[in-house]
Amino acid sequence: MSEVSTTEQPRLSLVIPVMNEEDNIAPMLEQIEQALAEETYEVIFVDDGSSDATVRRLREHDDERVRTLVLNRNYGQTTAMAAGIDAAEGQYVVTLDGDLQNDPADIPLMLQKLEAEGLDVVAGRRANRQDGMLLRKIPSRIANAMIRRLTGVYLYDYGCTLKVFKAEEAQELGLYGQLHRFIPVLAHMQGAVIGEMDVRHHARIHGKSKYGLSRTFKVMSDLVLMVFFQKYLPRPMHLFGTLGLITFITGMLINLYLLGEKLLGYDIWGRPLLLLGVSLVLGGIQLVTFGLMAEMLMRTYYESQSKKTYRVKSDFRGHAG
Model confidence pLDDT, tens digit, residues 147-167 = 777 777 778 787 788 999 999
Q: Is residue 95, in this structure, part of any structural domain at all?
A: yes
Q: Is residue 89, in this structure, part of any structural domain at all?
A: yes
For residue 290, the enclosing domain spans: 236-304
Q: Is residue 30, in this structure, part of any structural domain at all?
A: yes
pLDDT value at residue 89: 92
Of 51, 7, 56, 2, whose CA–CA distance to 29 is shortest?
2
Instruction: Answer yes or no: do 189 and 250 share one domain.
Output: no
Domain count of the fold of the chain:
2
Instruction: Answer yes or no: do 245 and 202 share one domain.
Output: no
Instruction: Answer yes or no: do 161 and 265 share one domain.
Output: no
Instruction: Answer yes or no: do 157 and 268 share one domain.
Output: no
pLDDT value at residue 154: 77
Instruction: Answer yes or no: do 248 and 291 share one domain.
Output: yes
Instruction: Answer yes or no: do 55 and 110 share one domain.
Output: yes
Instruction: Answer yes or no: do 114 and 209 share one domain.
Output: yes
Enclosing H/E stretch for 166: strand 163-166
pLDDT value at residue 121: 92
Instruction: Answer yes or no: do 249 and 198 share one domain.
Output: no
3-class state of residue 122 by DSSP:
strand
Domain with residue 226: its CATH number is: 3.90.550.10
Distance of alpha carbon 163 from its chain centroid, rounded? 12
Distance CA 111, CA 193 (A): 14
Q: Where does a domain end: 232, 252, 274?
A: 232
- Say if CB 262 and CB 268 are below 8 A apart: yes
pLDDT value at residue 187: 85
pLDDT value at residue 134: 58
Instruction: Answer yes or no: do 112 and 143 share one domain.
Output: yes
Q: Is residue 45, in this structure, part of any structural domain at all?
A: yes
Cross-strand bridge partners of residue 121: 165, 194
Distance CA 173, CA 266 (A): 60
Which residues, given as ranges, of the chain have pLDDT below 70?
A: 1-7, 130-140, 144, 177, 206-219, 307-321
Instruction: Answer yes or no: do 70 and 151 share one domain.
Output: yes
Q: Is residue 168, in this structure, part of any structural domain at all?
A: yes
Instruction: Answer yes or no: do 298 and 181 share one domain.
Output: no
